[in-house]
Structures are given as C-alpha cells and as structure tokens.
C-alpha cells in the first residue's frame, strides 16, 4: 500500500508542474491546507483538471497504480474531494483502497 507521504509528494509535484505549465509563479509553500478548489485556490478550474490527470498519471507511472479520481461518487460529493492538498491525498488513498488496480 502506498504511503500517504508519497501521495502528498506526488500532489505537491503535480501542483508545481501545473502552475509552471500555466505560467504561474511557483507556490511559496505547500501544505495539507493549501486550497485547490474554491475561494483562495492556487489553481483555476482548468488547472485543476490538469492536476487530477497529473496525479493519476504519476500514480500509474511511479507506483503502478491505476485509479480514476473523478469518479461518480467524487464528482457528486457535497464537499469536493479536490478542495485541498490534504483532502485530495486522503481521497487518493481512499480511491486506491476501494479498487485501484495495481500493475
């Protein structure tokens, strides 16, 4: 089972990559509280799409885990599972637990 710290590392790298691609300055700091979706978010809605794909692809390439993070359940949740780095990390771990495919 992949460690939470590894997932957080992937998300941090993905946020930096997406911000770099969008021509935005790198974030001064990233933590579990860094907001991804909603007021005060570091990314716009299109960049969030890129971020989710980037995280999925990194999980697949680096850890041989195939997941779909934008599931029906995730997209209809009252509180977005993409709203912050910490919440996204928990969502990734939950999704893997529920049926992520290993290699």
Partner 1 sequence: MVEVADKQVVLITGSRKGIGRHLAETYAKRGMLVEGCSRGDAGWEAANYTHANVDVADEKAVKHWISGVAKRHGRIDVVINNAAIATMNHVLLTPASTANRMLEVNVTGTMLVCRDAAKVMMRRKYGRIINFTTIVAPIALAGEAIYAASKSAVVTLTRILAYELGQWGITCNSFGATPIMTDMIKGVPQDKIDAVVQGLAIKRLGTYEDCTNVCDFFMAPGSDNITGQVLYLGGIT
* Binding interface with partner 1 (CB under 8 A): 46, 50, 53, 56-57, 60-62, 64, 66, 68, 101
Q: In the complex, what is the shortest distance from the CB of residue 53 to partner 1, in angstroms, rounded to a whole number?
A: 5
Q: Which is nearer to partner 1, 65 or 85 (CB)?
A: 65
Which strand (E) or helix (H) includes residue 101? strand 101-102
Whole-angstrom Cα distance, residue 15 to residue 101?
A: 24
Q: Which is nearer to partner 1, 33 or 64 (CB)?
A: 64
Q: Helix count (H) and strand count (E) of the chain? A: 4, 2
Q: In the complex, what is the shortest distance from the CB of residue 61 to partner 1, in angstroms, rounded to a whole number?
A: 6
Whole-angstrom Cα distance, residue 100 to residue 98?
A: 6
């Amino acid at each position: 089972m992949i460690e939470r710290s590894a997932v957080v590392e992937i998300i941090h790298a993905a946020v930096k990559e997406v911000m770099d691609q969008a021509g935005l300055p790198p974030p001064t700091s990233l933590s579990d509280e860094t907001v991804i979706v909603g007021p005060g978010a570091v990314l716009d809605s299109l960049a969030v799409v890129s971020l989710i794909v980037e995280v999925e692809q990194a999980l697949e390439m680096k850890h041989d885990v195939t997941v779909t993070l934008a599931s029906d359940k995730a997209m209809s949740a009252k509180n977005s599972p993409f709203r912050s780095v910490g919440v996204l990390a928990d969502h990734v771990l939950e999704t893997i637990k529920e049926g992520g495919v290993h290699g």
